[in-house]
């Protein structure tokens, strides 16, 4: 399917908007300079800051003074507004539009500013809820209205590129008609000092691919593109000049922060993007390289390009010499730069380049009057998460075709099977004892029960890992062993807060001890995709690898991505997990914000891994038949979604054994679920699980685990009923369970059946 790009918006060190960006590129004028807005001790490092203060952006956006915002979300709003305007999308249109954003730092700029206050007093509690990645995405979305669905990718420097890939997949599979995808990221002291601790920052303007390169310059910004099918765009009278024809994502599976010498992940990503577009390497007109300016990245990417293109490497350049490395936003910022280059027939120069003795030679001067028909845009992130997008010129003949929008079909044409499911949680790890003899707690906060890690992780490796990484690796290995799948085709992970303990250790040292002598290990293990990349590195998995970090629907987002691929691509198995930890100090912060600590609920932490397959292999626990994700739906829209879920799967209320909800025992949760479920599901029995396992961002993954166990055992334990049952209830052969998650904004419905 040809996906048209009908709108784009960009904000970076080159200015606000496409026109300002184009002028800077054509004038070969870099936006990198001395730090102006970030309050850091490290003024020796050049940066690419957006040339506006937070207050100026708030004024431009019409945001009232005193409204809690983050710099990431403000830049995102500016870029999203420009993209929506060019695509001719109004506020009323958004209910049919999905929004996918990529970020890693999220609201860290506010968290690091007020960290000690947040811990020690109540001065700035309003910023607790702006910290996580999903919160920033929702702030961007909510500024414009109610989108159909919203989620967040967090794969470090490939986040925005992966958001675009997922957005393309949503359209190709009939889940959405239009998707706005991209990313936003501000510079923070946290990641400036993190990169400095790795010794990969340059004190002079960066020189990608140059023999004298010594590191990168950090940048910031945001960019979004509007994707829709050619037929759908024509049906609403909108045209495009550029299409997204291919994409690829692969894992280098080599190291958490370094790239392999042969660029295996980059090679696979570029090869897949070209193959996906039905092209050959000789068709590529230009490569916008990842090109960070670090010795390791540029030599690795050079090796990968030589493997793909041989001695006929197309013209290439890194535009990070203009913008700085905008980390999570780089994939979408550089995509928009590619659009500008293709539409205006020029190749942007690789500024500051002189000597290519150990790398491929980029274009050093502006080249104008060149036809760019097919362009490859590379984005490579920590953990070896490598992505490539392939953009093509739309031919004039295509624009004159008769518009014809085909009827949307079910996104999941066949069931996906749960081959295994394992957990480490407040209940006994790797065990179904909770079904007969659950561990009961009276405390408001409990941590997970730790297993013996020696069968899964050698002690020398284990001692270098944080608690969450050990849990995630152990539970993943256990689930894979139970399923009989040795090496999954894809790994998709969900996490609300990532490796929180290591993040806090780095943040606390930064705020209490200053910006020197910080430990790189804590920073290396702070990025959200550390979890998924660790699993891939440990098992040598080079396939698709993505991490979703959108609060309490992180797991559903990961599950949705995996299911779409298993139903509609050549992939046959997937490892899907969701992992979150909770420290006592952060628990106290979330109590202050009202997310946790409410009477009647128990907070905890968990790691869950499930192995999915396109066939049952004769031993599946259950089947996933369907899934729906909604953002801020009206009561009527939610009811229609439930009715549609039942009708397209040929089910009535008598076929549903129970609704496994996210009810956690608090009064607010009771209103969200108990009062709501009768209206949505009638007299179908309501079930719950958080009273046994606890509340956390990854708790919905436990609902998948619990439901899979119940369907495999054909029994619903008495302890799961909200209205107590005298004894366990049997599940008949053709009955199903519905998982319902609702965090107040995001709603998800997942249909599971017995096999």
Catalytic residue positions? 157, 290, 325
**Cα(615)–Cα(617) distance, rounded to whole angstroms?**
6
Query: For 101-163, what is the HEC assignment?
Result: EECCCCCHHHHHHHHHHHHHCCCCHHHHHHCCHHHHHHHHHHCCCCCCEEEEECCHHHHHHHH
> In 186-267, which ranges are E strands?
221-229, 242-251
- Encoded tokens for 651: 């089910």
User: CA–CA distance from 647 to each of 142, 732, 735 (Å)?
Assistant: 31, 20, 15
**Cα(419)–Cα(117) distance, rounded to whole angstroms?**
47
CA distance between the termini of the chain = 34
**Cα(413)–Cα(78) distance, rounded to whole angstroms?**
38
Nearest 5°: phi and psi at 673? -115, -65
User: CA–CA distance from 384 to each of 104, 225, 380, 438 (Å)?
Assistant: 15, 25, 7, 40
- Encoded tokens for 99: 């929004």
Distance of CA 358 to the CA centre of its chain: 34
Q: Which of 219, 243, 233 is nearest to 71 (CA)?
A: 219
Report CA Rg, the chain: 25
**Cα(571)–Cα(185) distance, rounded to whole angstroms?**
32
Question: Residue 710: which residues within 8 A CB-CB, separation 6 or more?
Answer: 435, 716, 717, 720, 731, 737
Question: Residue 660: which residues within 8 A CB-CB, separation 6 or more?
Answer: 687, 688, 689, 703, 706, 707, 720, 737, 738, 739, 740
Pairing of strands 97-102, 178-185: parallel
Contact 612, 455 (CB under 8 A): no
- Encoded tokens for 88: 């001719």
Distance of CA 169 to the CA centre of its chain: 14
> In 272-369, which ranges are E strands?
286-288, 316-317, 346-347, 367-368
**Cα(741)–Cα(701) distance, rounded to whole angstroms?**
10
Contact 696, 603 (CB under 8 A): yes
What DSSP element (H or E) covers 322?
helix 320-323
Count of CB atoms within 10 A of residue 498's CB? 28
């Amino acid at each position: 399917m040809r996906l048209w790009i009908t709108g784009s918006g960009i904000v970076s060190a080159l200015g606000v908007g496409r026109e300002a960006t184009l002028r800077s590129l054509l004038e070969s004028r870099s936006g990198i300079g001395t730090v102006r807005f970030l309050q850091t001790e490290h003024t020796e490092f050049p940066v690419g800051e957006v040339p506006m203060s937070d207050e100026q952006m708030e004024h431009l956006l019409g945001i009232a003074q005193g409204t809690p915002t983050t710099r990431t979300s403000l830049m995102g709003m500016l870029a999203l507004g420009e993209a929506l305007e060019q695509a001719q999308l109004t506020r009323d249109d958004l209910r049919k539009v999905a929004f996918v954003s990529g970020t890693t730092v999220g609201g860290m700029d506010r968290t690091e500013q007020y960290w000690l206050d947040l811990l020690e007093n109540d001065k700035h509690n309003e910023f607790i809820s702006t910290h996580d990645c999903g919160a920033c995405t929702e702030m961007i979305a909510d500024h414009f209205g109610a989108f159909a669905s919203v989620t967040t990718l967090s794969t470090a420097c490939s986040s925005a590129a992966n958001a675009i890939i997922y957005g393309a997949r949503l359209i190709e599979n009939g889940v959405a008609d239009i998707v706005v995808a991209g990313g936003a990221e501000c510079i923070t002291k946290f990641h400036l000092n993190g990169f400095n601790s790795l010794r990969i920052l340059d004190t002079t303007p960066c020189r990608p691919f140059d023999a004298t390169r010594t590191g990168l310059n950090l940048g910031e910004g945001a960019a979004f593109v509007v994707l829709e099918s050619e037929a759908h765009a024509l049906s609403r009278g909108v045209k495009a000049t550029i299409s997204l024809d291919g994409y690829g994502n692969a894992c280098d599976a080599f190291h958490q922060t370094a790239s392999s010498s042969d660029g295996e992940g980059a090679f696979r990503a570029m090869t897949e993007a070209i193959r996906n577009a039905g092209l050959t390497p000789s068709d590529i007109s230009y490569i916008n390289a990842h090109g960070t300016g670090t010795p390791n990245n540029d030599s690795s990417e050079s090796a990968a390009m030589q493997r793909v293109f041989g001695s006929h490497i197309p013209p290439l350049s890194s535009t990070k010499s203009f913008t700085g490395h905008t980390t999570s936003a780089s994939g979408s910022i550089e995509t928009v730069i590619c659009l500008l280059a293709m539409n205006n027939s020029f190749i942007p120069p690789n500024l500051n380049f002189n000597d290519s003795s150990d790398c491929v030679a980029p274009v050093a001067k502006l080249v104008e009057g060149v036809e760019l028909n097919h362009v490859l845009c590379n984005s490579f992130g920590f953990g070896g998460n490598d992505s490539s997008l392939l953009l093509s010129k739309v031919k004039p003949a295509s624009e004159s075709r008769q518009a014809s929008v085909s009827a949307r079909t079910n996104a999941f044409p066949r069931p996906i099977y749960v081959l295994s499911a394992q957990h480490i949680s407040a209940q006994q790890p790797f065990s179904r004892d909770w079904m007969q003899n659950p561990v009961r707690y009276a405390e408001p906060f409990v941590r997970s029960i730790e297993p013996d890690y020696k069968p899964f992780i050698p002690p020398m490796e284990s001692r270098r890992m944080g608690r969450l990484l050990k849990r995630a690796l152990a539970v993943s290995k256990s689930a894979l062993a139970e399923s009989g799948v040795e090496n999954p085709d894809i790994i998709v992970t969900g996490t609300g807060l990532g490796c929180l303990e290591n993040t806090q250790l780095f943040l606390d040292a930064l705020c209490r001890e200053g910006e020197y002598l910080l430990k790189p290990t804590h920073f290396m293990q702070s990025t959200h995709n550390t979890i998924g990349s660790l699993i891939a590195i440990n098992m040598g998995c080079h396939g698709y690898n993505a991490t979703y970090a959108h609060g309490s629907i992180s797991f559903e987002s990961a599950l949705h991505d995996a299911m779409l691929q298993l139903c509609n691509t050549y992939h046959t198995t997937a490892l899907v997990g969701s992992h979150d930890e909770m420290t006592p100090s952060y628990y106290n912060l979330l109590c202050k914000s009202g997310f946790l600590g409410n009477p009647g609920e128990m907070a905890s932490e968990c790691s869950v891994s499930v192995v999915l397959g396109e066939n049952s292999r004769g031993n599946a626990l259950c089947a996933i038949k369907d899934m729906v994700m909604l953002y801020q739906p009206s009561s009527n829209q939610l009811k229609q979604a439930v009715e549609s879920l039942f009708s397209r799967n040929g089910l009535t209320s008598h076929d549903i054994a129970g609704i496994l909800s996210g009810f956690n025992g608090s009064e607010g949760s009771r209103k969200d679920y108990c009062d709501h479920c009768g209206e949505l599901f009638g007299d179908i029995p309501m079930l719950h699980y958080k009273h046994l396992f606890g509340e956390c961002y990854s708790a919905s993954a436990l609902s998948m685990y619990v439901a899979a166990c119940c369907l495999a055992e054909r029994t619903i334990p008495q302890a799961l009923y909200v209205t107590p049952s005298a004894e366990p209830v049997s599940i008949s052969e053709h009955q199903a369970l519905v998982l319902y998650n609702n965090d107040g904004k995001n709603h998800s419905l997942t249909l599971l059946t017995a096999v």
